[in-house]
């Protein structure tokens, strides 16, 4: 049957990277199970159990699961209705000298849970530098445009001016929070190790004739082989699903950040102030040939919406685990854990592309400022008039009347804001006519925005990105084929 006749997730066919898809592929999962069985046998032999060298050699030689082995495992699973035992038997056929030693003392979660932790660690290690790359893109953008005035918005209504770079710095700060949270869960990730069927280590205690110190050593060996600092102090049949929830809370928050940033970009595209990259031959609309739809930002928004809501699943899975373990976590985790990382990966690939090629239209930005700045400048005009001995209350009334007239031109007649021209023609304001133009330079209204951007981007952000210097030096901007 052709792949075109079966459902495939768009995350794997359109959006995510090959590296992330490989981590959660069937071959990687089954091969990691085999690697865990090899490590267990090696460690048990090192601690004195009578496992033949030939058995371990055959296991090592057959770690990668072949297509034939998958077929064998499928047949066994149809018979046993147990996927782990199916792969134990399939591995035994590939490594017959080890058939009686594979999975010795272990429960199914020795391979399933430890493998999941390995995949989570590898996936976190894959997305962290990608997130750092997006932050670096925006850092460069923010510094480039730290001085360019633009309208700020509160309630999506024009407010005091900021700069284009200042707005980007806000995006950076939110992404930095995600980076720090993901780093934290990565640093705190531990291994399940070999803990027995309920976490009591009873089977291993029996294997080692009551020598508990060998169980400690066993897990130290396994942690070293798998690249983990230690095991969780307490396990049941599984590692606690609170770990999955903790990881999800950090990773999935990236979805909310991405959705927020790209919503801003989409609004700015509508205002014609900023656009995402648009290729020469790209089609914006099948019907309206002139359109330049922000489709990449819309894609990120959609993926971000999905990712941001996944923690509810992880919460439910954690809170409904009974006592030492129930199996209602299995099917949903097979979907949720890979999907979480495929979503995050897809978002970061697209965000890298968008933030590396943002296009700014300075003339449009200035024209929009010119529509609003006259109103903002009236307070400065009031102060100047007061310095010339004019009553502040009288000046306030004169400006109020002229402002409403100018507002009527804009809102009722569709004209431009002519408040300053009205002020220049009104005799009351003659004392400050010569100063009016100097009072409406947009850079007088951006406050401390340039310094805020410089201090943040060259300080905290630069310090954080230094940790990713090597990966950023070799990173290239994502090219989106679809």
- Write out pLDDT tens, residues 95-138: 999 999 999 999 999 999 999 999 999 999 999 999 999 999 99
Question: Per the residue annotation, which of 200, 230, 285, 407 is the catalytic one?
Answer: 285
Phi first, then psi, for residue 146 (nearest 5°) are -65, -25
Residue 279 has pLDDT above 90, yes or no: no
Pick from 49-53, 86-90, 238-242, 399-403: least confident: 399-403
Phi first, then psi, for residue 213 (nearest 5°) are -65, -30
- What 3-state DSSP class applies to 277? coil
- What 3-state DSSP class applies to 107? coil
Q: What is the rounded average pLDDT of the residues 176-196?
A: 98
What beta strand segments (E) does 386-433 contain? none
Domain with CATH 1.20.200.10 in the chain: 115-146+166-219+226-279+289-360
Residue 406 has pLDDT above 80, yes or no: yes
What letter would DSSP give residue 421? H
Which two tokens mark 296?
């990449």
Higher local confidence (pLDDT), 28 or 435: 28
CB 146 within 8 A of CB 176: no
Q: How far apart are CA 141 and CA 121, in angstroms?
A: 31
Judged on CB neighbours under 10 Å (0-12, 13-18, 19+), 312 is exposed
What letter would DSSP give residue 73? H
- Which among 120, 187, 172 has a CA at the least distance from the CA of 342? 120
The reply to whether 155 belongs to the active site is yes
The reply to whether 388 belongs to the active site is no
Phi first, then psi, for residue 190 (nearest 5°) are -125, 175
Ramachandran sector of residue 48 (left: φ over 0; alpha: ψ -120 to 50; beta: rest) = left
Phi first, then psi, for residue 241 (nearest 5°) are -70, -5
Quickly list DSSP for 342-378: HHHHHHHHHHHHHHTS-EE-HHHHHHHHHHHHHHHTH
CATH number of 3-104: 1.10.275.10
Domain with CATH 1.10.275.10 in the chain: 3-104
CB 91 within 8 A of CB 100: no
Q: What is the pLDDT of residues 321-377, one digit of tens each?
A: 999 999 999 999 999 999 999 999 999 999 999 999 999 999 999 999 998 888 888
Q: What is the pLDDT of residues 49-94, one digit of tens each?
A: 999 999 999 999 999 999 999 999 999 999 999 999 999 999 999 9
pLDDT at residue number 246: 98
Torsion over CA of 322, 325, 331 and 337, rounded to 10 degrees?
A: 100
pLDDT at residue number 251: 98
- Which among 114, 97, 109 has a CA at the least distance from the CA of 35? 114
Pairing status of strand 274-275 against strand 157-163: unpaired
Pairing status of strand 149-154 against strand 274-275: unpaired
Question: Per the residue annotation, which of 2, 155, 281, 286 is the catalytic one?
Answer: 155
pTM to 2 decimals? 0.93
Q: What is the pLDDT of residues 432-451, one digit of tens each?
A: 888 888 888 999 999 999 99
Which two tokens mark 212?
């508990």
The second-level CATH assignment, the architecture, of 115-146+166-219+226-279+289-360 is Up-down Bundle (1.20)
Q: What is the rounded average pLDDT of the residues 414-420?
A: 89
CB 396 within 8 A of CB 402: no
pLDDT at residue number 143: 98
Q: What is the rounded average pLDDT of the residues 234-242?
A: 97
| CB environment 80-105: b (16+ within 10 A), e (fewer) | eeebbbbbbbbbbebbebbeebbbbb
Considering the chain, what is the average pLDDT of its residues?
A: 94
Higher local confidence (pLDDT), 441 or 183: 183
Beta bridge partners of 150: 162
Q: How far apart are CA 418 and CA 403, in angstroms?
A: 9
pLDDT at residue number 200: 97
């Amino acid at each position: 049957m052709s792949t075109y006749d079966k459902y495939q997730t768009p995350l794997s066919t359109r959006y995510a990277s090959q590296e992330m898809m490989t981590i959660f592929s069937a071959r990687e999962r089954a091969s990691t199970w085999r690697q865990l069985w090899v490590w267990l046998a090696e460690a048990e032999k090192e601690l004195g159990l009578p496992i033949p060298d030939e058995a371990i050699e055959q296991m090592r030689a057959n770690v990668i699961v072949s297509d034939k082995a998958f077929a064998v495992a499928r047949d066994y699973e149809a018979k046993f209705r147990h996927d782990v035992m199916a792969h134990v038997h399939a591995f035994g056929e590939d490594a017959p000298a080890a058939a009686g030693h594979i999975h010795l003392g272990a429960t199914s979660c020795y391979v399933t849970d430890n493998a999941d932790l390995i995949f989570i660690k590898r996936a976190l290690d894959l997305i962290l530098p990608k997130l750092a790359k997006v932050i670096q893109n925006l850092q460069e953008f923010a510094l480039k445009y730290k001085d360019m005035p633009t309208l700020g918005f509160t309630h999506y209504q024009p407010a005091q001016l900021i700069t284009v770079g200042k707005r980007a710095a806000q995006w950076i700060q939110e992404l930095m929070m995600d980076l720090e949270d993901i780093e934290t869960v990565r640093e705190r990730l531990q291994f399940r190790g070999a803990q027995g069927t309920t976490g009591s280590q009873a089977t291993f205690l029996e294997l080692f004739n009551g020598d508990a110190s060998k169980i400690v050593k066993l897990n130290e060996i396994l942690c070293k082989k798998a690249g983990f600092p230690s095991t969780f102090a307490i396990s049941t049949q599984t590692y606690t699903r609170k770990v999955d929830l903790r990881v999800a809370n950090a990773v999935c928050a990236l979805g909310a950040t991405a959705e927020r940033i790209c919503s801003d970009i989409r609004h700015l595209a509508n205002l014609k102030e900023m656009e995402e990259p648009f290729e020469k031959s790209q089609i914006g609309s099948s019907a309206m040939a002139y359109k330049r739809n922000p489709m990449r930002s819309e894609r990120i928004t959609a993926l971000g919406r999905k990712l941001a809501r996944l923690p509810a699943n992880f919460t439910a899975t954690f809170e409904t685990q009974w006592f030492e373990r129930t199996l209602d976590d299995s099917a949903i985790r097979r979907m949720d854990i890979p999907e979480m990382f495929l979503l995050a990966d897809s978002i970061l690939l697209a965000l890298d592309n968008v933030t590396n090629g943002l296009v700014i239209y300075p003339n449009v930005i200035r024209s929009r400022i010119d529509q609003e700045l006259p109103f903002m400048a009236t307070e400065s005009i009031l102060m100047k008039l007061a310095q010339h001995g004019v009553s502040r209350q009288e000046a306030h009334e004169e400006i109020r009347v002229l402002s409403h007239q100018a507002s009527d031109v804009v809102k009722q007649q569709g004209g431009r804001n002519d408040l300053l021209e009205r002020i220049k023609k009104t005799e009351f304001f003659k004392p400050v006519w010569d100063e009016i133009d100097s009072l409406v330079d947009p850079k007088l209204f951006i406050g401390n925005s340039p310094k805020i951007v410089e201090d943040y981007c060259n300080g905290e952000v630069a310090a954080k990105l230094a940790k990713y210097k090597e990966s950023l030096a070799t990173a290239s901007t994502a090219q989106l084929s679809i």
